[in-house]
Amino acid sequence: MYKLTTIFLSMFLIVELNAQLVEIQANYNSIGDVEFIAYNNSQTPVFLNIDFADLENTSFNETLPYIKLLDPGFNNLFILERDLDADVPRFNYEIKSFRSNPMALVNLDFPYLFPFKTGTKVSVLDVGNIVGFWGMNEPKSWNATGFKTNQGQVICASRRGTVVEIVGANRTGEPENWYHTWNNAITILQPDGTLICYRNVVDKNKKLKIGQKVFPGEIIGEIAPYETELVMLIFQSSLNTKELLFIIPQFVTEENKLEMIITSKDYLVVHPGNIRGMEMTNKEKRKILNTKR
């Protein structure tokens, strides 16, 4: 009969992401199974990838590649079950962590709202560069959406998401915790695991908080002083390379029309209720959209 010499054994492994922001713990229980848990010590979600290279006396039954969204704090991961009548499970694995989902299944036809108040007339502009977005290194391939604006103009969320970074005129904190290196920017994690950055936008009245949920059409800030354009970047990490992937959004240009926007045309902002409510729960719809059901 199998006996476990040590009933409870913990192997404490540190993921080298941003000075131990994520800690992984593998606990052997009394029947020899291994329970994996994770601690996300940051204030924002992190995506974890675990890749097993060697497994003995057990098998990994999760979907591959294994990607897990870690909310701040404690997170259950999975259990490696000991093979019947086998010895203690032994394993070797590699860990990677990401700010966005490196395996995000992006719907290229998702309807984004114009990030302005309804009724506003907006003009699109070509974004010539994204210098300063990624430190000294500009991504080899990128896409960005630009709009002409006025200083102090109100900016709204184009899609639902969780606020993960709010940066004013000057950056603070440890650089390894930054989502990018732009100042005057608000970054939001979207439901599909991509990130959206609104550049030249500031939270002047300090209404936003890290971890706050924002909804389509909700005011998130205003154009920073002396700025006359808004730049939007939608991007995600890549699992096997350091290159970022950028998404070209389609916008709701009329009540029932979705299209890629062009610089030679002006648009009138609409925020249809059915689009705003696409990623809301029924409770959120009742509270935010004043729907009855």
The DSSP-derived string for 62-124 is: S-SSEEEEE-SEEEEEEEEPBPTT----EEEEEEEEESS-TT----TT-EEPPSS-TT-EEEE
Check if the beta carbon of residue 288 is closer than 8 Å to that of residue 275.
no
Which regions in the chain score pLDDT beneath 50?
A: 1-19
Check if the beta carbon of residue 147 is closer than 8 Å to that of residue 166.
no
Residue 273 CA, distance from chain mean position: 24
Residue 150 shares a structural domain with residue 281? yes
Q: Which residues pair with 95 in a beta bridge?
A: 50
Please, which residues have CB within 8 angstroms of residue 252's CB and are 6 or more apart in sequence?
111, 112, 113, 114, 258, 270, 271, 272, 275
The residue out of 37, 63, 98 marking a domain boundary is 98
| pLDDT score of 214 | 98
Residue 75 shares a structural domain with residue 148? no
| pLDDT score of 293 | 61
Q: What is the pTM of this model?
A: 0.90
Amino acid letter, residue 184: N
| Domain interval for residue 170 | 111-289
The residue out of 35, 63, 98 marking a domain boundary is 98
Element at 171 (helix H, strand E): none
Burial of 167 (0-12, 13-18, 19+ CB in 10 A): buried
Cis peptide before 139 (omega within 30 of 0): no
Residue 63 shares a structural domain with residue 191? no
Pinpoint the alpha helices (H) of the chain.
273-276, 282-284
Task: Give the integer Cα–Cα distance in Å for 118 and 276.
Answer: 12
- Angle at alpha carbon of residue 211, lines to 106 and 278, rounded to 5°: 40
Average pLDDT over all residues of the chain: 90
Check if the beta carbon of residue 159 is closer than 8 Å to that of residue 196.
yes
| pLDDT score of 20 | 67
The residue out of 59, 76, 98 marking a domain boundary is 98
Task: Give the integer Cα–Cα distance in Å for 283 and 272.
Answer: 18
- Residue 289 backbone phi and psi in degrees, to 5: -100, -5
What pairing do the DSSP bridges indicate for beta strands 229-236 and 145-148? antiparallel
Please, which residues have CB within 8 angstroms of residue 4's CB and are 6 or more apart in sequence?
28, 30, 31, 32, 88
Residue 224 shares a structural domain with residue 140? yes
* Structure-token pair, residue 43: 């204030």
Residue 253 shares a structural domain with residue 274? yes
* Structure-token pair, residue 81: 């079950």
* Residue 19: CATH number of its domain: 2.60.40
Given its phi and psi angles, is residue 239 left (phi above 0), alpha (psi -120 to 50 degrees) or beta?
alpha
Residue 33 shares a structural domain with residue 123? no
Task: Give the integer Cα–Cα distance in Å for 6 and 182.
Answer: 51
CA-based max dimension of the chain: 77
Amino acid letter, residue 51: D
Is residue 104 a part of any domain in this protein?
no
* Residue 135: CATH number of its domain: 2.70.70.10
Task: Give the integer Cα–Cα distance in Å for 184 and 229.
Answer: 12
**DSSP symbol at 275:** H
Residue 122 shares a structural domain with residue 202? yes
Number of domains making up the chain = 2
